[in-house]
Amino acid sequence: MTMPDFLTAALYKFVELPDFSTLQAPLLACCEAQGVKGTLLLAPEGVNGTIAGSPEGVRAVLGFLRSDPRLATLEHKEAHAAQMPFYRMKVRLKKEIVTLGVPDVHPGLMAGQYVKPQDWDALIAEPGVVLVDTRNDYEVNIGTFQGAINPATHSFSELPAWVEKQMAEGGTLAPVDGKKPRVAMFCTGGIRCEKSTAYMRAQGFEEVYHLEGGILKYLETMPEAQSRWQGECFVFDERVSVGHGLQPGDFTLCRSCRDPLSAADRKSPLYELGVSCAHCQARTTDAQKQGYRERQRQVELAAGRHQAHIGVRQHGSE
């Protein structure tokens, strides 16, 4: 028996869409007609999201999006799965497709310079280049580039406050002899570093770079023996983490706090499958844990019947 093949497409594009709200209904209708599920965000600054369905259905939706001349160059990343990873289709209207919380930052007009994966290592090895990981703490903790600064943020919207603090006298981003430093920024798939470099340019930084295609394109492109990447990369799907060649990594997801867990984390006495881990065990009540146990029981029953079960959502995607 041949297993069904579901195609997943992750996409984003920063482009001025002042009429974004009028695109919602026809886009949703197209997705539903093609049997495609997932989430797409529309905002004045562009489109972002992940969809899945039959290869023909997903490509039809991508074609519909690209039929708008403003989205003609929309790029996407593909992955295949034996099971449908989403349970419904949502097209949401937002103020931003990735929330920074700073007005008048326009990545479609003022993002930093793209750097291809094969040129990235040489750039970040240059003296005076400040390398900043724009992802959140739980992502950085399982892997990052050698020498990268971790701003220790819990959400992307915290990054501007960190930048402001580092621009102060004595900070990592403070001017030297009256000149702001060169800055290189990176993220998982490109969307956060594209927006953060636009923000940096708005703050007066002239030489700002970001990794084209993000960490995922770098891991896909660069041989491990030549790489400055250390660890694994957190991803916003059922794989949880990937390594070089985009091979699935060792991490799984805590279904309570949704933090990534290593093999060592899963050996902790505080770890209970589907219920808790060392990161969150003390933060949930007995009643919550009992609810999680019941949910895990239902997940296992559904798996025994070869049925899908809607579990707890992951961290928000890029």
DSSP track, 41-92: EEETTEEEEEEEE-HHHHHHHHHHHHTSGGGTT-EEEEEEESS---SSEEEE
5 pLDDT band (50/70/90 cuts)? Answer: confident
Cα-to-chain-centroid distance, residue 82: 22
- pLDDT tens across 174-212, in order? 998 889 999 999 999 999 999 999 999 999 999 999 999
82 pLDDT band (50/70/90 cuts)? Answer: confident
Q: In what order do the strands lie in the sheet with 89-93?
A: 75-81, 6-14, 46-53, 37-43, 89-93
Q: Examine the pLDDT at 303 and tell me if it is beyond 80.
A: no
Regarding beta strands 208-211 and 75-81, do their DSSP bridges make them parallel or antiparallel, or are they unpaired?
Answer: unpaired
- Domains of the chain (ranges, CATH numbers): 6-93 (3.30.70.100), 107-230 (3.40.250.10), 251-318 (no CATH)
313 pLDDT band (50/70/90 cuts)? Answer: very low
Angle (CA) 218-236-110 rounded to 5° is 60
- Specify the range with the lowest mean pLDDT, choosing from 105-109, 191-195, 264-268: 105-109
CA distance 151 to 165: 11
CA distance 221 to 66: 26
* Contact (Cβ atoms closer than 8 angstroms) between residue 76 and residue 11: yes
Question: Could you give the C-alpha distances from 253 to 76, 104, 195, 313, in angstroms and in order?
Answer: 25, 36, 27, 10
For 181, counting Cβ atoms within 10 Å of its Cβ (0-12 exposed, 13-18 middle, 19+ buried), the class is: middle
CA distance 94 to 46: 10
CA distance 188 to 196: 13
* Contact (Cβ atoms closer than 8 angstroms) between residue 241 and residue 260: yes
CA distance 9 to 75: 10
Q: Examine the pLDDT at 309 and tell me if it is beyond 90.
A: no
312 pLDDT band (50/70/90 cuts)? Answer: very low
Give residue for tokens 């006495």.
269
314 pLDDT band (50/70/90 cuts)? Answer: very low
CA distance 236 to 244: 17
4 pLDDT band (50/70/90 cuts)? Answer: low
What is the pTM assigned to this prediction?
Answer: 0.86
83 pLDDT band (50/70/90 cuts)? Answer: confident
CA distance 83 to 303: 12
- pLDDT tens across 162-171, in order? 999 999 878 9
Summary mean pLDDT of the chain: 92
In this structure, the dihedral spanned by the alpha carbons of residues 144, 169, 99 and 110, taken in order and rounded to 10 degrees, is -90
CA distance 20 to 32: 19
- pLDDT tens across 14-26, in order? 999 999 999 999 9
Contacts of 197 (CB under 8 A, 6+ apart): 107, 111, 112, 183, 185, 208, 209, 210
CA distance 64 to 85: 22
CA distance 205 to 259: 33
Write out the catalytic residue numbers: 187
222-230, Cβ contacts within 8 angstroms, sequence gap of 24 or more: 222/117, 222/118, 222/121, 226/121, 227/121, 228/120, 228/121, 228/124, 228/125, 228/145, 228/146, 228/147, 229/143, 229/144, 229/145, 229/146, 230/143, 230/144, 230/145, 230/146
